[in-house]
Structure 1
Amino acid sequence: MAHFHVFADVHDTAEHIKIRHVDIQDIIEALRMGVDDFMEKPSHYVFLCVIYPIVGFILFRWAFGQNYLQLIYPLVTGFALIGPFAALGFYEISRRRELKMDTSWKHALTVWKTPALPAIAVVGGMLIVLFLAWLFVAQMLYVGIYSTTPPEALGSFLWNVLTSQNGWALIIVGNAVGFLFALAALVTSVISLPLLLDQDVGAYMAIKTSVMACLMNPVPMLAWGAIVAGGLILGSLPLLLGLAVVLPILAHATWHVYRKVIDTSGH
């Protein structure tokens, strides 16, 4: 039945998936290739990626309007959790460029016609749940460690957090917990989503392959996670506008990380 394809391998291709050992140099090379993909037609990619700063701006406005200033930082860092799912269109552009096919931006939108869409939706839904759970935990940490009263002004809130014992406790514990959420997102999605776009192996096998790839290559994959986190922070600083460049580069590079880690020559 069709719904079984959400979790199972519809074409029995999973047995051909082999995980390679990679090093830091491979990660750097994947990043360089991601930059090359972006430079091929940057205007198309920036056009598409303007969506993300706009979404970020909406979230900021929501945080201000609903008096949830304490959630601005978790909202910004939460981009790393849902980024792999939001980057599907860019994976497709890199895939098509690799195959020397037409790479016009319209193909980034047709990615939703892939037969693996139900499985991709499962992984994407998992990342969205992870993002919402992170916001919930961040709010609980704020209430439990810092204050039960919402901050009234952003400037005074930041100053108080940086100059108080409770504020520093919130920073340390919050970032430690946030790291665990980011690690969970990285391990389960860094390979699974590009793999599903490339092959309809089912959500379970895609996530399992992603986890195994990270376990076999812990240092390079952690290095990649650090690059992603650093890029998102830098892109978020100028009112999220830098994400219009950072996000597509990281997305393209993620595709090349997938290609370096996964050997699908038997496919």
Structure 2
Amino acid sequence: MHTVFSGPGDAAVGIRRIDARAPSRWLEAAWQDIRHNPLPSLAYGLLFALGGDLILLSLVSHPHLLTFAISGFFLVAPLLAGGLYELSRAREQGEKPLFIESLCAFRRNGQSLALFGLLLALTALLWERFTAIAFALLSGGGAFAGSALLSEILIGGEHLAFVATWSIVGALLATFVFALAVVSVPMIMDRNCDPVSAMATSLRAVAANPGPLALWAVLIVTLTLTGFATLLFGLVVLMPMLGHASWHAYRELVE
């Protein structure tokens, strides 16, 4: 492992090169974070699971909103996990904050977090509009029954061209957001920096470590989809794991 320093026009922040075993180290460290202070971590996971189930149940008859809610989760999760980053930071300092105390992390450099959150919200809105238009075209602009449409896509295997196009566009958008966000929120919270500097650092981290971070992205998607497959209750543990691991990714990547 060695360090790649920023150019003369950037902030003096170094980026470390990592190996392919790094994601497993981050997950192992995340598990230790949960064991150190389990109740706040699992409380976040339970909130994600219960809140997600309520949202999905309310959208089951609206296919474009249902698919947007599932896919859009990947776009906003980096910000939602802010409390988990705070728990990991506190453990490094030998502290064991309560759940309510970890929420105070969102007040640290709150303006920059709000600006970054606005960017994620605008990205999610763009994705929602694309999804809405795509489903409207698929249904011919008519009042297509949500359950029938989802059955055709998920069970009947129909509309393969639509599924392929939607998946490719979604993957490209998610990759873009991942590159911008992989270390941004932890860095904003930890260093009181502005969102532009944090996103620039995130892009440099991805450019310096494309292989290991591609593996990390695949693990995030796989574990999150595993949580969704268990009616979101797998997220009670998996979401804290990914949140804590993302903090350790930031710590290892950024000098």
TM-score by length of 1: 0.85
Structure 2's unaligned 5+ residue stretches are 1-9
CA distance in 2, matches of 1:147, 1:229: 31
Give the Å deviation of 1:164.
5.5
Q: Name the residue aligned to 1:140.
A: 133
Q: Is the 8 A contact 2:62 2:146 kept in 1?
A: no
Q: Name the residue aligned to 2:218.
A: 226
Matched residues, number: 245
Q: Is the 8 A contact 2:180 2:199 kept in 1?
A: yes
After superposition, the C-alpha distances for 1:134-187 in whole angstroms (9 at most, x for unaligned) are: 121112122234543344252x3333225355x111211111111012112111
Give the Å deviation of 1:197.
0.9
Q: In structure 1, which of residues 104, 117, 120 is the aligned counterpart of residue 98 of structure 2?
A: 104
Q: Name the residue aligned to 2:182.
A: 190
CA distance in 2, matches of 1:69, 1:91: 33
Give the Å deviation of 1:249.
0.6
Structure 1's unaligned 5+ residue stretches are 1-13
After superposition, the C-alpha distances for 1:22-53 in whole angstroms (9 at most, x for unaligned) are: 12111221111112212223232222332222
Give the Å deviation of 1:258.
0.4
After superposition, the C-alpha distances for 1:201-250 in whole angstroms (9 at most, x for unaligned) are: 21111111111111111111111111111111010112222212111110
Q: Name the residue aligned to 1:33.
A: 29
CA 1:229–1:147 in structure 2 vs 1: closer, same or farther (change >3 Å)? farther
- Range with greater deviation from structure 2 (206-215 or 98-107): 98-107
RMSD: 1.9
CA distance in 1, matches of 2:138, 2:210: 32
After superposition, the C-alpha distances for 1:102-133 in whole angstroms (9 at most, x for unaligned) are: 3332331111231x110111111111221221
Matched, 1:57 2:53: yes
Percent of aligned pairs sharing the same letter: 24
CA distance in 2, matches of 1:130, 1:80: 11
Give the Å deviation of 1:257.
0.5
CA distance in 2, matches of 1:230, 1:123: 25
| Structure 1 segments (4+ residues) deviating >3 Å | 162-165
Q: Name the residue aligned to 2:62.
A: 68
Q: Is the 8 A contact 2:76 2:121 kept in 1?
A: yes
CA distance in 2, matches of 1:223, 1:101: 31
CA distance in 2, matches of 1:43, 1:150: 45
Q: Secondary structure at the match of 2:97?
A: coil
Q: Secondary structure at the match of 1:24?
A: coil
CA distance in 2, matches of 1:244, 1:218: 29
- Range with greater deviation from structure 2 (30-39 or 226-235): 30-39
Q: Name the residue aligned to 2:76.
A: 82
Q: Name the residue aligned to 2:111.
A: 118
Q: Secondary structure at the match of 1:130?
A: helix
Matched, 1:152 2:145: yes
Q: Is the 8 A contact 1:22 1:217 kept in 2?
A: yes
